[in-house]
């Protein structure tokens, strides 16, 4: 287990590549060389596992791949492998994640630092293979750490940081890092990768505390917990999540010393003196950043708060970022049916309430099922919150962008 930070951080020269998000994640997996990789195909994730299969077929990795018969089995095999002290990684999206749902909780409850490379896609019905965040939202309460990436570079950088966060002895939780389906997974961009050696050094080696394979110390994994212990074990998971809030920036800092690229729990843009803020996750943050720059050009004090770490939710950091702002547009790419707003909005609203911030917020649902998010949609959101700030009126709290009604 790697506890100390690399002492002298030296910037290493990155290697520029033109890859899509899926291929760059496969590349990161190759560099991490996990011991066991159980996989199952599903669009638009398949590109990750087929690209990784090539590395395996060419003997470029030591990884043992398991071509399982379902995603449920993929996660189950990750659980077995991780409990056996191996580094286990898989990838999935949408229905695959839904099928895994039962065992996502087994992974986190057993404190197994599994890494899942995730692609965001809508859930059926109706069947749709394009991007939204409904699938990852289904796992938001499952005890997995969730990082959202914006582009190909972030998909790569998050993949490498994920393993360090998960395996940190204060955390020991499974982690998924996401990229938006097709938009990122199939969009070729220029991105820099680190040399293999630097990755190897950064991720270090993994020494599990408890392994099923230690013949000298047999262990029991996954016992029954009754009324007398279950609750305490759940509380310990909460503790791991809370500690992750400290570990994620630590790992990011170390990564920055290596790569020169900065990461935090949040990624603010022009927030310092902003009055009108858009809160967003995933690939649409790029579009929103452009709109913020444009609005700034027009003298409107717009700002953007991108959430990189969604679980654990960095409540204090969000409160600090939103304090004193006039109005917030929270962007949700998923619906929490029947709730008073959607996942990200509910989290942000809770922050506004708990920290007693006098900032108005409204929820914008956008981009479901891969619906394009255009700058004009972001402009519309800003226009609406300018009005919210002026009138103080937030009704309707949930609004829809780019929807025919």
Partner 1 sequence: MALSLKELSKLDQTFAPGHRLCAGCAESIIVRQVLMAAGDPVVVANATGCLEVATSIYPFTSWRVSWIHSAFENAASTISGVETAYRSLVKQGKMEDVGMKFIVFGGDGATYDIGLQFLSGALERGHRFLYVCLNNEAYMNTGIQRSGSTPRGTWTTTSPVGEAIVGKREYPKDMTAIVAAHGIPYVAQAVPSQWRDLMTKVQKAIAANGPTFINVLSSCNRGWRHDTSQTIAVSKLATDTCVWAIYEIDHGVWKLNYKPKKKKPITEWFESQGRFSHLLRPENHALVEQLQEKVDKDWKALLEKCGEKT
The residues of the shown chain that bind partner 1, judged by CB under 8 A, are: 35-36, 38, 62-64, 66-70, 72-74, 76-86, 88, 102-103, 106, 110, 212-215, 218-226, 229
| Count of CB atoms situated within 10 Å of the CB of 372 | 12
The Cα–Cα gap between 379 and 383 comes to 6
The Cα–Cα gap between 244 and 234 comes to 15
Peptide bond into 188 cis (omega under 30): no
Q: CB pairs under 8 A, 24+ apart, for 333-339?
A: 333/120, 333/131, 333/132, 333/133, 333/134, 333/281, 333/282, 333/284, 333/365, 333/366, 333/367, 333/368, 334/132, 334/133, 334/134, 334/136, 334/137, 334/368, 335/134, 335/365, 335/368, 336/137
Nearer to partner 1 (CB atom), residue 114 or residue 131: 114
- Quick check: 130 and 369 in contact, CB under 8 A? yes
The residues pairing with 92 across neighbouring beta strands, listed in sequence order, are 118
Smallest distance, partner 1 to C-beta of residue 109, A: 10
Smallest distance, partner 1 to C-beta of residue 104, A: 11
What is the three-class DSSP state of 188? coil
Nearer to partner 1 (CB atom), residue 64 or residue 372: 64
Nearer to partner 1 (CB atom), residue 102 or residue 372: 102
What is the three-class DSSP state of 256? helix
Smallest distance, partner 1 to C-beta of residue 169, A: 19
The Cα–Cα gap between 358 and 285 comes to 25
| Count of CB atoms situated within 10 Å of the CB of 120 | 33
Nearer to partner 1 (CB atom), residue 229 or residue 354: 229
Helix (H) / strand (E) containing 86: none
Nearer to partner 1 (CB atom), residue 3 or residue 217: 217
Smallest distance, partner 1 to C-beta of residue 384, A: 46
Smallest distance, partner 1 to C-beta of residue 37, A: 9
Provide the token pair at 116. 């899942």
Phi, psi of 309 (to 5 degrees): -100, 105
Smallest distance, partner 1 to C-beta of residue 61, A: 10
Nearer to partner 1 (CB atom), residue 56 or residue 401: 56
Peptide bond into 397 cis (omega under 30): no
Nearer to partner 1 (CB atom), residue 225 or residue 353: 225
Smallest distance, partner 1 to C-beta of residue 94, A: 20
Smallest distance, partner 1 to C-beta of residue 75, A: 8
Nearer to partner 1 (CB atom), residue 102 or residue 242: 102
The DSSP line for 375-396 is HHHHHHHHHHHHHHHHH----S
Nearer to partner 1 (CB atom), residue 110 or residue 336: 110
Smallest distance, partner 1 to C-beta of residue 68, A: 6
Provide the token pair at 134. 């409904």
Smallest distance, partner 1 to C-beta of residue 105, A: 9
- Quick check: 6 and 255 in contact, CB under 8 A? no
Nearer to partner 1 (CB atom), residue 103 or residue 244: 103
Phi, psi of 198 (to 5 degrees): -65, -40
């Amino acid at each position: 287990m790697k506890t100390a930070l690399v002492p002298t951080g030296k910037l290493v020269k990155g290697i520029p590549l033109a890859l899509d998000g899926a291929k760059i994640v496969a590349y990161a997996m190759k560099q991490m060389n996990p011991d066991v990789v159980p996989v199952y195909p599903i669009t638009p994730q398949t590109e990750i596992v087929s690209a990784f299969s090539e590395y395996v077929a060419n003997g470029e990795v030591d990884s043992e791949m398991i071509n399982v018969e379902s995603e449920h089995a993929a996660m189950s095999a990750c659980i077995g492998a991780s409990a056996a002290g191996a580094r286990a990684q898989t990838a999935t999206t949408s229905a695959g994640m839904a099928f895994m749902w039962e065992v996502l909780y087994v992974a986190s409850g057993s404190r197994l630092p599994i890494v899942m490379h995730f692609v965001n896609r809508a859930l059926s019905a109706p069947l749709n293979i394009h991007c939204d965040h409904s699938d990852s939202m289904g796992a938001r309460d499952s005890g997995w750490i969730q990082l959202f990436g914006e582009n190909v570079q972030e998909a790569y950088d998050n993949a490498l940081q994920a393993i360090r966060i998960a395996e940190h002895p204060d955390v020991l939780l499974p982690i998924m890092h996401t990229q938006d389906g097709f938009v990122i997974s199939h969009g070729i961009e220029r991105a820099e990768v680190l040399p293999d050696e630097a990755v190897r050094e950064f991720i270090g080696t993994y020494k599990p505390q408890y392994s099923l394979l230690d013949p000298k110390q047999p262990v029991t994994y996954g016992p029954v917990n009754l009324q007398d212990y279950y609750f305490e074990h759940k509380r310990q998971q909460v503790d791991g999540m809370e500690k992750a809030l400290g570990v994620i920036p630590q790992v990011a800092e170390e990564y920055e010393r290596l790569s020169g690229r900065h990461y935090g729990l949040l990624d603010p843009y022009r927030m310092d003196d902003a009055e009108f803020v858009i809160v967003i996750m995933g690939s649409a943050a790029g579009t929103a950043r452009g709109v913020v720059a444009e609005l700034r050009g027009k003298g409107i004090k717009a700002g953007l708060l991108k959430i990189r770490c969604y679980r654990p939710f960095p409540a204090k950091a969000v409160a600090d970022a939103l304090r004193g702002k006039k109005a917030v547009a929270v962007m949700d790419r998923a619906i929490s049916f029947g709730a008073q707003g959607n996942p990200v909005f509910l989290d942000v609203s809770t922050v506004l309430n708990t920290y007693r911030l006098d900032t108005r917020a409204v929820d914008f649902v956008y981009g479901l099922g891969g619906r394009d998010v255009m700058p004009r949609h972001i402009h519309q959101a800003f226009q609406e919150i300018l009005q919210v700030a002026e009138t103080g009126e937030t009704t309707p709290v949930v609004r829809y962008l780019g929807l025919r009604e």
